[in-house]
Amino acid sequence: MFLRRRDLMTGALGAALSLISGGASAADIPKLKCTRVGQTVIFRNKKFTCIKKGGKLVWNKGVPIPVKSSTPKPAPSASASATATPTATPTATPTETATPSPSLSKNAFKLANSSEIPTDSVKVYQAGRTPGLMVSIVLIRDNAGLRALQAECPHAGYLVKDNGSNQLICQAHNSLFSAKDGELLRGPANRGLSSYVVTETGGEIYLTL
């Protein structure tokens, strides 16, 4: 009888302690029933695992689950914005303008084609033989350009011709002139050869008298 009473008292005390313990931790364990070993459940930011303890299936104390905090992305700094590659601004392409042709005088008339007077050449055009020409003209083209001089010697009216070395000579009395500007270099002529305005455009040579 004595042993039986002691066992009853021990059992009652254990049950009371179990109730007290269970009541204190009931709010901290999952309400879901543990049915198999290894079963897991998340409860109040803890992961609980079903274990076998004292012949019963119970939840362990649980392992806290770390809370992942979202890391905000850094905002671009002012220096980074300042060093950003600027957008290229298109620039206007200059438009080529055509070179205006030289204007011709009302008194100008066509004397020859440009192809007739190549560089380093001298050619005489005689009045009466060249349509519209009232005086004889000598055309000269060299590295200095194209120019027109009087072709008749002031001494007696004979035609001059190329004497080489940038000189023109009278075929009758040997008067000598500069082919650059008609300057008198030797008589018997008493003055140089007159110069005329000559214009070249569109492959044609025009003379103004």
pTM for the full predicted model: 0.49
Report the phi/psi class of residue 19: left, alpha or beta, with left for phi > 0 and alpha for psi in -120 to 50: alpha
pLDDT tens digit at each of 209 positions of the chain = 444 555 555 555 544 444 444 433 566 777 778 888 888 877 777 888 889 888 888 888 888 877 655 555 666 555 544 455 555 555 555 444 444 455 666 678 888 899 988 998 999 988 878 877 778 889 999 888 899 999 889 898 889 988 888 889 998 899 999 988 899 999 899 999 989 888 988 888 988 87
Q: Report the distance separating Cα 156 and Cα 172, nearest Å.
A: 8
Phi and psi at residue 16, to the nearest 5°? -65, -45
In 18-117, where do the E strands start and end? 40-43, 46-53, 56-59, 63-64, 108-113
Domains assigned to the chain:
31-66 (no CATH), 108-208 (2.102.10.10)
pLDDT digits (tens, 9 = 90+) for 106-149: 678 888 899 988 998 999 988 878 877 778 889 999 888 899 99
Residue 87 tokens read as 């957008």
In degrees, to the nearest 5, what angle opens at C-alpha 114 toward C-alphas 108 and 116?
Answer: 115
